[in-house]
């Protein structure tokens, strides 16, 4: 898969250099291209030496933004950049893997892990984000790659709590089957069952009893 990304990346650069002029506001152009999924614009700027690891004014990484904003063509272009730092965090400690997990993007999550993105982190983890997603397969992927199932975020939240409030019932079932501790409490004294009850997900309350 990596070689395919590299080929597409080089092809985009050749085409982009030939057809797309550079503009004065390089920084603004680049991040507007990321936001709007303008692969030719982004490719042209990368070809002229723009660093794909440059942070936005809000402290976000380009790949994180591409995933967050739903820019699949630019996402693939950035993934193909040989000097991309796949595990680079934004100013609040979030990585592209976290956003890919939150979006339920299994393919990109796999590619990021393959290229060295960390599954086990201090604080908020990719598993917390995966548990909040609509795809249980991403939760499974994180567990397969050694995620700490009971890792607690700075506020004490666990992946099970996040799944109980935001994720799929299958994610809750999977985490419980893999041994997630449903008795853990966050800093407000809330359990995963409390999260389900607060969000009106009564179908999960008994499961988390």
Residue environment code for 96-108, b if the CB has 16+ CB neighbours within 10 A, otherwise e: bbbbbbbbbbbeb
Please name each of the domains of the chain with its CATH number: 1-85 (1.25.40), 95-209 (1.25.40.20)
Give tens-digit pLDDT for 8-53: 555 555 444 443 444 448 999 999 999 999 999 999 999 999 999 9
DSSP 8-class letter at 95 = B
Sign of CA dihedral 201, 202, 207, 209: positive
pLDDT of 181 above 60: yes
Residue-level pLDDT at 26: 94
Taking residues 65-92, what's their average pLDDT?
Answer: 97
pLDDT(196) > 50: yes
**What is the pTM for the complete model shown?**
0.88
What's the pLDDT score for residue 142?
98
Q: If you average pLDDT over every residue of the chain, what do you get?
A: 92
Which residue's structure tokens are 């995620």? 147
């Amino acid at each position: 898969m990596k070689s395919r990304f590299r080929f597409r990346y080089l092809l985009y650069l050749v085409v982009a250099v030939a057809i797309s002029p550079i503009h004065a506001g390089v920084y603004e152009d680049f991040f507007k291209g990321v936001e709007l999924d303008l692969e030719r614009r982004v490719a042209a700027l990368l070809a002229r030496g723009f660093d794909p690891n440059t942070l936005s004014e809000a402290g976000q990484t380009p790949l994180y933004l591409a995933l967050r904003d739903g820019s699949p063509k630019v996402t693939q272009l950035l993934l193909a950049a040989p000097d991309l730092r796949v595990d680079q965090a934004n100013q609040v400690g979030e990585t592209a893997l976290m956003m890919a997990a939150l979006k339920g993007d299994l393919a990109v999550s796999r590619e990021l892990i393959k290229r060295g993105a960390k599954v086990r982190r201090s604080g908020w983890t990719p598993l917390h984000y995966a548990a909040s997603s609509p795809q249980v397969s991403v939760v499974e992927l994180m567990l397969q790659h050694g995620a700490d199932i009971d890792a607690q975020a700075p506020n004490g939240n666990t992946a099970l709590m996040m799944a109980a409030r935001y994720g799929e019932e299958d994610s809750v079932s999977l985490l419980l089957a893999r041994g997630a501790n449903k008795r853990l409490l966050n800093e407000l004294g809330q359990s995963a069952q409390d999260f389900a009850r607060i969000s009106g997900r009564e179908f999960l309350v008994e499961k988390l009893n």
